[in-house]
Amino acid sequence: MQLDSEQQQGVLILKPSGRLDSNTAQQFEKDLLAQLDNNPQVVLDLAGLDYVSSAGLRVLLIAAKQVKQKAGSLALCALQDSIRQVFEISGFLSILTVCDSREEALSKVAN
Amino acid sequence: MTTQQITLKPDLAELATLAEQVERFGEQIGLETPLVFQLNLVLDELVTNAVNYGFARSNIENPHITIEMRREGEQLTIELRDNGTPFDPLQVPPPDLEADLQDRQIGGLGLHFVHELMDTIDYQHQHGENRLTLHKRL
């Protein structure tokens, strides 16, 4: 599990990759929340995320709540098909901003 | 009939081993990638529960989790046994999937995946072991 980052149009793009399960979630939570601290506008590009379990969804939920609390905006994009299915059966597609492409996600958080 | 047995220590670091073994089994029986993912997710959630709750007490002798997977025709059967604290996952209430972001909880979501992705789930506590039998029609 790795968390890379870059800036695009003044927005922080975070790119987690690998397997997000109950074994890797704790470190990921630490890394992700540290990145969100000073960045109100964030895109999570999940193209490199191969796997997520409920432990991983828990971290994404905490992140989304934290961003909302600080009146920031967060959008997720480029989910692999299996990851999208996990979001779907969790009901996460209706509580998070999930976009197909990074461009779309950037336009959602840039406003 | 193709069968594979996996024995794990009650340790979350074993999930990587589990994923490898599930992938290997999937290849052996010609399972498509989305199904391998689903099988992995189901077993991950059940093993995670067992590790975090079933083996939370450290005085369990010879702690172990055993998984047997087999394919007979179009039927996939998974038997999961552990000698942790008795725990019937069928008694866990379903999560509220309608709650908004602020009120959303994660508890119960892992077992919700198991219910959604498998066709039948049976639980018994026998001979000091939790025994879960799962079926999925391929």
- Cβ distance B45 to A54 less than 8 Å, yes or no, reads yes
Q: Cα separation of B47 and B55, whole Å?
A: 10
Q: Which residue of A has its CA nearest to B94?
A: A90
Measured from the Cβ of residue A33, the count of other Cβ atoms closer than 10 Å reads 13
Contact B9, B55 (CB under 8 A): no
Residues of B in contact with A89 (CB under 8 A): 112-113, 116-117
CA dihedral B43, B46, B51, B54 (to 10 degrees): -150
Q: Does A39 touch chain B (CB under 8 A)?
A: no
- Give B13's contacts in chain A (Cβ within 8 Å): 23
Q: Calculate mean pLDDT across residues B83-109.
A: 92
Residues of chain A with Cβ-Cβ distance to B98 below 8 Å are 91
What residues make up the domain containing A101? 2-110
State the ipTM, two decimals.
0.94
Domain B2-123: assigned CATH number: 3.30.565.10
Model pLDDT, residue B105: 85
DSSP assignment, residue B7? E
Shortest Cα–Cα distance, A107 to chain B (Å): 21
Domain count, chain A: 1
CATH at A57: 3.30.750.24
Cα–Cα distance, B47 to A43 (Å, whole number): 32
Q: What is the pLDDT of residues A70-100, one digit of tens each?
A: 999 999 999 999 999 999 999 999 999 999 9
Question: How many cross-chain Cβ pairs, A to B, lie less than 8 Å apart?
Answer: 66
Name the residue among B13, B52, B101 with its Cβ closest to that of A68: B101
pLDDT one-digit tens code per residue, B45-58: 999 999 999 998 87
Q: Which of A22-31, A56-65, B48-57, B125-134 has the lowest mean pLDDT?
A: B48-57
Q: CA distances (Å), A31 to each of A25, A39, A63, B82, B91, in order? A: 10, 13, 11, 33, 35
Q: Residue range A47-67: average pLDDT?
A: 97
Q: Percent of chain B having pLDDT more than 90?
A: 91
- With cut-offs at 50, 70 and 90, classify the pLDDT of residue B84: very high
Which residues in chain A have their CB less than 8 angstroms from residue B113's CB? 53-54, 86, 89-90
Interchain proximity A22–B52, CB inside 8 Å: yes
Mean pLDDT of B109-121: 97
pLDDT, tens digit (0-9, with 9 covering 90-100), for A5-38: 999 998 999 999 999 999 999 999 999 999 999 8
